[in-house]
A and B are shown apart, each in its own frame.
Chain A
Amino acid sequence: MELIEKTAAELRSLMLQGEVNAVQITEAYLQAIRAREPKVQAFLHVDESDAMAQASAIDQKRKHGWQLGPLAGIPVAIKDVLCTKGQVTTCGSKMLQNFIPPYDAHVITRLREADAVLIGKTNMDEFAMGSSTENSAFKTTRNPWDLERIPGGSSGGSAAAVAACEAPLSLGSDTGGSIRQPASLCGIVGMKPTYGRVSRFGLIAFASSLDQIGPFSHDVTDCALLLEVIAGHDRRDSTSVYRPVPPYSKTVHTPVKPLTIGLPREFFDEGLDPEVNACVQEALKVYRSLGATIKDVSLPYSRYAVPVYYIVATAEASSNLARYDGVHYGFRAPDFDSMIHMYSRSRGLGFGKEVKRRIMLGTYALSSGYYDAYYLKALKVRRLIKEDFDRAFAECDVVMGPTSPTPAFRIGEKAENPLAMYLSDIYTISCNLAGIAGISIPCGFTKAGLPVGLQILAGPFEEEKLLRVARMYEAQTDWHLRRPRL
């Protein structure tokens, strides 16, 4: 097996045994990036000399006998929504094409402290708005399993980078499924932690009550390793929760017994692709063979999750994105007649279509005369959605179903139909509205060779249980060992 096909845990033990050093690992991934990027296009920026400098500093540390962090010498790719000090952070938008943050996001600081190598910034839907990464202002990322198809989104670059073995780990952000859906479509593991588990300091805001940063990896063990590094309280994010971080990477191999799995009938409706359903049913058989009890549950209000989301998320976005005014940072239009015209022209030219569409929708939902009918109504239904989960978790350890109703679709297939695109997040969105934890793990392939993901959801701050349940299945299967031919 080539070095680049290994997991972070495997690379780490090779590092500890002295079989390889950080420079060799980083070199191998940079070479993979050079060879594969023309096809995959997962990255927006790769600074080779900076990555090599980080790697050699880690090797120096080891040479001097200093203690190394848990991700020593492991390359991590970063979604370009996370601020990196002194390095361009575009958020996939023309608006921030030249933006150089004066500080690191909290998770970036954590990665540096863990001795990880930040290998590059990955492509994404503009301002994390999209499900295919086609809304990037810069390039179209390809699914490594089929280059004619989308990798999912909005963290499509981070998912494709790991699937294509251009990095063993990456970070994404998930507002309505933007980690789990691309993980599913690219055949890797992706987790959205509980809201408040990971600090959002330095994450460029989309919808502040829903956004959460999380890991991508080849397998569940690596997911635990990366989550352990990024989770924890940070005083700079007042919604980050003050509670201890369990040693996920140590407990991940312990099965959960007894295990009760809830199967919401609403996640298996007529919109579900039969091949995806077949893979999920096979996965449930594996759990049954491990002694799990499977119980039918109902999440009756989950059918309203997409409409609630497109009010709540767009309302919050319309407010968050008001800061892009061509004054403090970001794009300013060259010609204008007045101050107000400078704002509206800079925003009109700096934002792409989907971002403008969502700002419009959110502004409408918050505008005088419509606030009660849309925004307030959505917040009430949001509570009903959360209460559905409260009831389910009172009788089940986890809830399972497909991550995405279909495998990866073709590039351009849904580009002209925003509503069809929105529906590709139908199973992932309710998790963000309820603020709970969710993971997508590989559970098979379609006949055409496209990956399928199993979504597992757990109650707030139950990441430890979620990872253990995911690992139980993974230990019985080999989907996570497959790598695309590139």
Chain B
Amino acid sequence: MALTGDQVRWVAHLARLELTEEEFQLFTGQLTRIVDFIDQLQEVKTEGVEPLAHALPIHNVFRPDEPAPSLSVDEALANAPARKGDFYSVPAVLD
């Protein structure tokens, strides 16, 4: 099934990826071929098969809620692209 340019643009929007025109062209072709390849899964009969999200039978793991040291504000902000005081700085969301 060929992916349309519109579909690829929509997925890029959902994924918050700004692509160049060249990338759009490239990915539209490549993703179509990959999705065609993946479509062979449709031939497998899976009625009554439980999905397996995780190989281990792991359920919620609980621990006591005890206070423990964590990163300082400076350590937490050390890698921030922009900082204002003790906060991450981002462009205005509301005018």
Closest residue to A365 on the B side, CB-wise?
Answer: B38
Tell me which of B41, B54, B92 contacts A377 (CB under 8 A).
B41
Tell me which of A342, A359, A381 contacts B46 (CB under 8 A).
A381
Tell me which of A332, A340, A347, A383 contacts B50 (CB under 8 A).
A383
| Apart from the given pairs A328-B88, A329-B79, 4 other A-B contacts in the complex at a CB distance below 8 Å | A102-B78, A209-B54, A342-B90, A356-B27
Instruction: Verify B81–A330 contact, CB threshold 8 A.
Output: yes
Kindly supply a per-residue 1/0 record for chain B positions 22-64, scoring 1 wherever the CB is within 8 Å of any chain A CB and 0 otherwise: 0100110011011101101110101001111111101001010
Instruction: Verify A357–B46 contact, CB threshold 8 A.
Output: no
Tell me which residues across on chain A come within 8 A of B42, comparing CB atoms.
Answer: 373, 377
- Chain B proximity of A88: nearest CB distance (Å): 11
Closest residue to B33 on the A side, CB-wise?
Answer: A419
The yes or no answer to A255 lying at the interface (CB within 8 A) is no
Instruction: Verify B38–A311 contact, CB threshold 8 A.
Output: yes
Asked whether A336 and B34 contact (CB < 8 A) given A102-B78, A209-B54, A384-B44, the answer is no
- Chain A proximity of B9: nearest CB distance (Å): 11
Tell me which residues across on chain A come within 8 A of B52, comparing CB atoms.
Answer: 379-380, 382-383, 386
Tell me which of A103, A241, A329, A363 contacts B14 (CB under 8 A).
A363
- Chain A proximity of B16: nearest CB distance (Å): 4
The yes or no answer to A106 lying at the interface (CB within 8 A) is no
The yes or no answer to B2 lying at the interface (CB within 8 A) is no
Q: State in angstroms the CA–CA spacing of A285 and B40 once bound together.
A: 36
- Interface residues of A, Cβ cutoff 8 Å to B: 98-100, 102-103, 195-196, 209, 235, 238-239, 241, 301, 304, 306-308, 310-311, 318, 322, 325-332, 336, 338-345, 347-349, 351, 353, 356-357, 359-361, 363-364, 367, 373-374, 376-384, 386, 418-419, 422, 433-436, 460
Instruction: Verify A418–B30 contact, CB threshold 8 A.
Output: yes
15 examples of A-B residue contacts, CB within 8 angstroms = A99-B79, A241-B56, A307-B38, A343-B16, A351-B17, A357-B31, A359-B17, A363-B14, A373-B42, A376-B51, A383-B49, A383-B51, A386-B55, A418-B30, A435-B54
Closest residue to B81 on the A side, CB-wise?
Answer: A332
Closest residue to B54 on the A side, CB-wise?
Answer: A209
Instruction: Verify B33–A326 contact, CB threshold 8 A.
Output: no
- Chain B proximity of A205: nearest CB distance (Å): 14
A-B pairs, 8 with minimum CB distance: A435-B55, A348-B18, A379-B51, A329-B79, A332-B81, A383-B52, A380-B46, A238-B61
Tell me which residues across on chain A come within 8 A of B27, comparing CB atoms.
Answer: 356-357, 360
Instruction: Verify B50–A327 contact, CB threshold 8 A.
Output: no
Asked whether A356 and B19 contact (CB < 8 A) given A330-B79, A418-B34, the answer is yes
